[in-house]
Amino acid sequence: MKRISVKAENKYQVLIGDDHLDAIKRIEKEHNQVLILIPQSLRKFVKLSSSKNAHVLMLPNGEVQKDVKSANRVWRELGKLNFSRQDCIIAIGGGATTDLAGFAAATWLRGIAWYAIPTSLAAMVDASIGGKTGINADSGKNLIGSFHSPKKVIIDLKFLQTLPERDISAGMAEVIKSGFIRDPKILKLLEADVLDFEQIIYRSIKVKSKVVGRDFKESKLREILNYGHTLGHAIEKDSKYRLRHGEAVAIGLVFAAELSQILGGLSKSEVERHRSLLKAFNLPITYPKSKLATLIKIMQADKKVKAGRIRFIGLSRVGKPIWLESVSKADITRAYERIAK
Ligand SMILES: NC(=O)c1ccc[n+]([C@@H]2O[C@H](COP(=O)([O-])OP(=O)(O)OC[C@H]3O[C@@H](n4cnc5c(N)ncnc54)[C@H](O)[C@@H]3O)[C@@H](O)[C@H]2O)c1
């Protein structure tokens, strides 16, 4: 088992290669009551203990669980159980579940303990790390939320065995991003004939936890984690969320690399390396030519825009992020034309 310490508002540990049932039993011993949140479709893959102080609340599957209706169901359950600050929530699921559970924990009694047991690759390397929790509002995704780190993150690698291929690929987009912004060794591990998932996950979490540890509330450095995300979020929205977050980010990564080549001097071969790695995991790398104007409009409304300027994270070379603060429409168009079909 590997361990990583994350420094946030509290210090906490990520355990990689633990068994989730053993972990749940340990957590139950530390708290009076435990409420386990889990999406319906995952229940069959999960082992739960039969202890008297553990309760289970089943959630709908996927992104729909991240709404105020589900949050209200969780709050109602916590009320029924008389949940106090000595009690805790355990989230078992993908990023939608860990986001909702963390948010419920952040808001109940102004903050109780919660534990993340992420079951998707995206949740293991990204959503459960970094303390951002939240739900979607009618007016947009992730608009309601709080910074509230878990007490521990427990990664049971066995969950990857049941995760659909498409979700493995979607998670890989964030792994690839981590490699390009901070840890080129990850790229080598991904280019190897056999994938060492434990090592890939370990190094990706290391990248995120180090960045978050230095800039928890995203005043500057944490923005590097948004590499590929400015256009990625716009594409995700334009696709009406039919594309997975990671799939939209994959296209955004190629765009950010092309923009970096134009404005930051990233070499052509490194841009091509983005394409070949993403393609190797069956991720999309192009988007329709006709969509540019719509995407620019969506990017202009993004929360990352400052004073009307669209900002991007770029690279001057692998491992060296740069802030592209005020990118002209002409440069956006040039880069987009290189990824458009
Ligand atoms: N808080 C953060 O910092 C952060 C960062 C990135 C993403 N997110 C959020 O995470 C969510 C995306 O994460 P996700 O892709 O895990 O979404 P998800 O929770 O919807 O899971 C994707 C699908 O995989 C299924 N699944 C999960 N684990 C499985 C397993 N082991 N076996 C079989 N099926 C399994 C789920 O039931 C679901 O259908 C979004 O809501 C996004 O906003 C949050």
Indicate if the pLDDT at residue 237 is higher than 90: yes
Average of pLDDT values for 242-259?
97
Indicate if the pLDDT at residue 309 is higher than 90: no
> What residues act catalytically?
110, 132, 174, 208, 218, 222, 226, 229, 233, 245
CA of residue 317 to ligand 1 center, whole Å: 30
Residue closest via CA to ligand 1's atom 21 equals: 94
In one-letter notation, the amino acid at residue 332 is I
Indicate if the pLDDT at residue 303 is higher than 80: no
Average of pLDDT values for 7-24?
96
Looking at residue 50, its pLDDT comes to 82
Residue 61, ligand 1, Cβ within 6 A: yes
- Specify whether the CB–CB gap between 153 and 59 falls below 8 A: no
- Write down the mean pLDDT value for the chain: 96
pTM: predicted TM-score of the whole model, two decimal places: 0.96
Q: How confident is the model at residue 118 (pLDDT cuts 50, 70, 90)?
A: very high
DSSP state at residue 326: S
Q: What percent of the chain lies above the pLDDT cut of 90? A: 93
CA of residue 242 to ligand 1 center, whole Å: 14
Distances (CA, A) of 56 to 41, 50, 113: 14, 10, 16
DSSP state at residue 44: G
Instruction: Tell which atom from ligand 1 comes closest to the C-alpha of 246.
Output: 15
Residue 94, both tokens? 């993908």
Q: Which of 186-190, 195-199, 292-296, 324-328 has the least mean pLDDT?
A: 324-328
Q: How confident is the model at residue 49 (pLDDT cuts 50, 70, 90)?
A: confident
Nearest partner of 339 among 250, 227, 246, judged by Cα: 250
* DSSP string for residues in 172-207: HHHHHHHHHHT-HHHHHHHHSSS--HHHHHHHHHHH
The residue whose CB lies within 8 Å of the most ligand 1 atoms, and thus the one to mutate among 99, 201, 241, is: 99
State which H helix or E strand residue 260 sits in: helix 245-263
**107 exposure class (CB count in 10 Å sphere: 0-12, 13-18, 19+):** buried
The residue whose CB lies within 8 Å of the most ligand 1 atoms, and thus the one to mutate among 114, 157, 167, is: 167
Instruction: Tell which atom from ligand 1 comes closest to the C-alpha of 120.
Output: 28
Q: Which of 50-54, 230-234, 295-299, 302-306 has the least mean pLDDT?
A: 302-306
Rounded to 5°, the CA angle 76-78-84 comes to 145
Q: How confident is the model at residue 301 (pLDDT cuts 50, 70, 90)?
A: confident
255-278 tens-digit pLDDT: 999 999 999 999 999 999 999 999
In this structure, the number of other CB atoms found within 10 A of the CB of residue 162 comes to 11
Indicate if the pLDDT at residue 308 is higher than 80: no
Give the integer Cα–Cα distance in Å for 310 and 301. 9
Average of pLDDT values for 234-244?
95
Residue closest via CA to ligand 1's atom 7 equals: 127
Three-state secondary structure call for residue 231? helix
DSSP-assigned beta bridge partners for residue 231: none
Domains of the chain: 2-161 (3.40.50.1970), 166-194+216-339 (1.20.1090.10)
Nearest partner of 126 among 4, 18, 40, 246, judged by Cα: 246
Residue closest via CA to ligand 1's atom 3 equals: 127
Residue 336, ligand 1, Cβ within 6 A: no
Residue 97, ligand 1, Cβ within 6 A: yes
Indicate if the pLDDT at residue 306 is higher than 70: no
